[in-house]
Amino acid sequence: MSESVRTYDELERLVQKTYKNPDLESLRRAFALADKAHEGGVRLTGDPVISHPLAVAYRLAQMGLHLNVVIAGLLHDVVEDSSVTIDDLKNQFGEDIAGLVEAVTKLKHGIKYRGTERYAENMRKMFLAMASDVRVVFMKFADRLHNLETLYGQPKYKQERIARESLEIYAPIAGRLGMSEIKGELEDGSFAYLQPKEYERMKNIMDIKIREKGAYVSRIIDSVEKLLTGTSITEFQVHGRIKRLFSLHKKLNKYQGDLSKIYDLIAVRIIVGDVEECYMTLGLLHQHWRPVPGRIKDYIAQPKPNGYQSLHTTVFTENGEIVEFQIRTLEMHELAEYGIAAHWRYKEGSRKAVKNTRWMEELAQIQKELQSKKDFMEQLEVMKIDVFRDRIFVFTPQGDVIDLPEGATPIDFAYAIHTEVGNKCTAARVNEVMRNLDTTLQSGDIVEVITDKNRRGPNPDWLKFAKTRHARSKIKDSTRHTVKGWFAEVLKGREKAKK
Ligand code: MN
């Protein structure tokens, strides 16, 4: 067994530490159920299967998300791996937890790898589709992070695929949501598999730098603590931060490999109580050390598009060394690490209100960010987000995403795929269950249209429940043809009769 495997006791201890009056009884029951469901299963790493949901739940608890999300994390692979159903979970853990597990399970089935381009497009849409409950996205990240951590157990082709997906799809989404900690982990975890040599090179550079500068930065941290002690700033934290490897790799490329241009290999992070203290700290640093010109950045007054706030400055220290500082409040710090997840931390009780308003704000933010880019594809995305509110996103069994208006039915879906599929459709399977053609589809549904090639054409009654203009006009066109055809035949018949 690998040493990084978490035990249930560790999870429970973390939960007790993080949450006020946690429902440990449900947590225990969830673990017992998951443990039994995955009993005897072994992952390719050689660890028992239960180690995976435990790690996912542990991560979600570290993020401080609502305990229901942690419990759902324990249960997230249960429906797939055993005979336990969503209904069982509903009965034993309630609607909310069962709903989360259902959403995560669905997401897994909706997605199949079919080339990076289309896959990326699908994934972005899917994440938007899941925006109605952003907690599902956090669960997906926690799941993916653990799969990356244990990727060494997988065969090579799978390593490559999972790493690429993580780097090209998951990491940018984490970035957009302002979850820089998770973005960084996703990037470095993938980088190690996609460019192992370059990864090693970056690792060596950092190792050398840490050996060279580590002790020195420790002294700088001490000096900062001394500077702040005795001022009106009573609560502060100062620590060193080491640049992530993929981030270093990108920056080095930007500077043609010139390491001397990169000042934030090791930065010092100062966390204080409020905004006033941030500026005060900046002033104290500049009194003590001379700032490098052009390197002062006020992301408090002017936050980055994803909401990031901090003051940055770079200074010349005593022996001509250059050190970068990042100054922020605890709230800004949590936001920088956890992004929109930060709004979800410790907010028991008021979950719904927080969820909806925050998420909508976040979408607005993403829109703003995209509008500032002139890229045409990005603009297309903006348009999709604009109409997002009354749209649903459903999937083909192959994982393609079809977006439809709210209230759409399998008929709309069929016509969205192809006119012929619409004209010849006779029934639909929604999430593997046969449904009537007038069933209202929900975001995340997987829809399969059953066609009959002998079918003559659409039924005019379909107009009663077809929602899209496209489907309606195709049905009308086609029925008009049929009537015309029939009419023509009758006329022909009369002609014949006359003769
Ligand atoms: Mn999983």
DSSP 8-state class, residue 41:
-
Topology of domain 197-340 in CATH is Beta Polymerase; domain 2 (3.30.460)
Instruction: Pick the catalytic residue from 10, 39, 80, 258.
Output: 80
Ligand 1 centre distance from Cα of residue 118 (Å): 23
Nearest alpha carbon to residue 111 among 396, 392, 391: 396
Q: Which amino acid is at 375?
A: D
What is the largest distance, in Å, between two alpha-carbon atoms of the chain? 114
- Residue 98: enclosing H or E segment and its boundaries? helix 95-110
Instruction: Pick the catalytic residue from 12, 23, 35, 81.
Output: 81
CA dihedral for 103, 106, 108, 112, sign (positive or negative): negative
Ligand 1 centre distance from Cα of residue 193 (Å): 20
Query: Residue 388 has what pLDDT?
Result: 44
Ligand 1 centre distance from Cα of residue 296 (Å): 43
Each domain of the chain, given as residue ranges in start order, spans: 8-194, 197-340, 389-496
d(CA 327, CA 331): 12
Q: Per the structure block, which two tokens stand in for 326?
A: 């990042």
* Ion ligand 1: residues, CB < 5 A: 77, 143
Ligand 1 centre distance from Cα of residue 307 (Å): 30
Q: Give the ranges where 387-468 is alpha helix by DSSP (H).
A: 410-417, 419-423
Q: Is 389-496 the same fold as 8-194?
A: no
- pLDDT tens over the chain, length 499 residues: 455 789 999 999 999 988 888 899 999 999 999 999 999 989 988 999 999 999 999 999 988 888 999 999 999 999 988 999 999 999 999 999 999 999 888 777 655 445 555 555 555 555 555 555 667 888 888 999 999 999 998 999 889 988 988 887 788 777 766 778 889 999 999 999 999 999 999 999 998 988 888 888 889 999 999 999 989 998 899 988 889 999 999 999 999 888 888 888 889 999 999 999 999 999 999 999 999 988 899 999 887 766 788 999 999 988 778 899 999 998 888 878 877 666 555 443 333 333 333 444 454 454 444 444 334 334 334 333 333 456 677 877 766 667 788 899 999 999 999 999 999 999 999 988 899 999 999 877 789 999 998 888 899 899 999 998 889 988 988 877 655 555 555 556 665 555 5
Ligand 1 centre distance from Cα of residue 142 (Å): 9
Q: Report, at the CATH architecture level, how domain 8-194 is classified.
A: Orthogonal Bundle (1.10)
Is 258 annotated as catalytic?
Answer: no
User: Does the structural domain 389-496 have CATH classification 3.10.20.30?
Assistant: yes
Is 337 annotated as catalytic?
Answer: no
Ligand 1 centre distance from Cα of residue 105 (Å): 9
Angstrom CA distances, 269 to 280, 328, 339, 484, stand at 15, 8, 18, 76
